[in-house]
Structure 1
Amino acid sequence: MPYASLLVKIEAHVRNLFAIHMHPYLVYHNLSHTENVVRYTARLSEYYDLKPHSHFIIMAAAWFHDTGHLFGEIEGHEARSATLMEKYLGDTISKIYLNHIRQCIMATKMPVHPDNLLEMIICDADTWHLGTTDFFGEDHKVWQEVEARKGKTFDNKPALSLRFMEQHIFFTSYCIQHLSEGKRENVKRLNELIGG
């Protein structure tokens, strides 16, 4: 299978989905977030020297992982994303590959419980910003989107974000090494915001 050329087609297809079906309320779960997850997934794939077939599986999952947001509520978006992937790739690759990609997409469902390195990689790529200086800007977008989609305002956003951060863990050794300190800083700032 020509993995590289198929990934080019997947990228074009997902970009097209976002171009056609984008909603104004998707201020976080948009193409920019998907591009970030793809970039971080590629970085981890290279770091762990994944074999070509594993690289293809995880990159396909990264491109499709949030497409389900375009076609429904927040709840169940992972399963919709996996279905969109299967519809697009179903006649192109084997059921074994389809299943591996589906499992990687489903691994991003909160609370996450990745079972292998590929699932750990996509979970860490999906929450990468928690350990960076981009956290507060991205977290603001998350809450903007949640409030728009739920039709209600959350008054205790810093406390809710802090609870999420305290329950979150990075799984790959790379992210533990490179993002843990940044995450600690962000937790500290959240605590300061809520007077803790």
Structure 2
Amino acid sequence: MQLDDAGNYIINKLNDELPEYLNYHNASHTIDVYEAAKRLALADRISGDEMTLLLTAAYYHDSGFLIKATGHEEESCRIARETLPKFGYDTNEIDKICGMIMATRLPQSPKNHLEEILADADLDYLGRDDFSFIANQLFLENSFFGTVGDMDEWNRKQVAFMERHHYFTKTANNLRQAKKDANLGRIKAQVK
């Protein structure tokens, strides 16, 4: 499996082909999720082929936005199935990658540890210092799609989402839950 080549291929495609209005679901988010997945996996002593599959899934998890927003996870799997054999991945490996990609669909429903890691990596920002900046990027994207009106509506949606959300892995809970709680408290204070 040629992880670096497969990753470079999709990152270049995301940079070249994604529309400008995707302020959140873009190559920067993909790289962020890749880094978060790697950090969580190393802490959980994931290595070898499992690490390669996880990081490949991180690279490809939102590639479906190249096609459409709604149902992008299925499109991400289709892109992975079309692309990854060129980089030495077999059908069984791609099936595992697609399982991880589908585990990021909301509401998240991971079925194994690697799927849990990717699900947590995808929402790692909820418990970080750069939460406000990233959440604003997501607000701008949702505004473009017309799924949210003003900032107060957005804050109410964020509160509801963050109250329902939970990290799956012990590592993500230890690393991110306290800051996520603080971020949630700040948003609640802004809701009218």
TM-score w.r.t. length of structure 2: 0.94
Whole-Å separation in 1 of the counterparts to 2:46 and 2:66 = 30
Q: Does the aligned pair in 1 maintain the 2:15–2:26 contact within 8 Å? A: no
| One-letter code aligned to 2:115 | E
Q: CA deviation at 1:151?
A: 7.2
Q: What residue number does 2:117 align with?
A: 121
Whole-Å separation in 2 of the counterparts to 1:19 and 1:110 = 24
Q: Could you report, residue by residue, the CA deviation over 1:76-115 in whole angstroms, capped at 9, with x for unpaired residues?
A: 0011011111101135322111100000001100000111
Q: Does the aligned pair in 1 maintain the 2:148–2:154 contact within 8 Å? A: no
SS at match of 2:129: coil
Q: What residue number does 1:95 align with?
A: 91
Q: Could you report, residue by residue, the CA deviation over 1:174-193 in whole angstroms, capped at 9, with x for unpaired residues?
A: 11111111011011111110
1:145 aligns with 2:141: yes
Identify the match of residue 78 of structure 1 among 73, 83, 90: 73
SS at match of 2:20: coil
Q: What residue number does 1:158 align with?
A: 155
Whole-Å separation in 1 of the counterparts to 2:89 and 2:29 = 26
Structure 1: gaps spanning 5 or more residues: none
Q: CA deviation at 1:143?
A: 1.2
Which stretches of structure 1, 4 residues or longer, exceed 6 Å deviation after superposition? none
Identify the match of residue 14 of structure 1 among 10, 18, 21: 10
Q: Does the aligned pair in 2 maintain the 1:25–1:149 contact within 8 Å? A: no
SS at match of 2:9: helix
| One-letter code aligned to 2:106 | M
Whole-Å separation in 2 of the counterparts to 1:79 and 1:89 = 15
Range that drifts further, 146-155 or 123-132: 146-155
| One-letter code aligned to 1:174 | T
Whole-Å separation in 2 of the counterparts to 1:115 and 1:151 = 29
Aligned residues: 190
Identify the match of residue 179 of structure 1 among 176, 180, 184: 176
TM-score w.r.t. length of structure 1: 0.92
Q: Could you report, residue by residue, the CA deviation over 1:132-164 in whole angstroms, capped at 9, with x for unpaired residues?
A: 121111111111101112376245111111000
Whole-Å separation in 1 of the counterparts to 2:36 and 2:148 = 32
Q: Does the aligned pair in 2 maintain the 1:58–1:104 contact within 8 Å? A: yes
Whole-Å separation in 2 of the counterparts to 1:103 and 1:152 = 30
Superposed, 1:46-57 pairs within 5 Å as 46-57=42-53
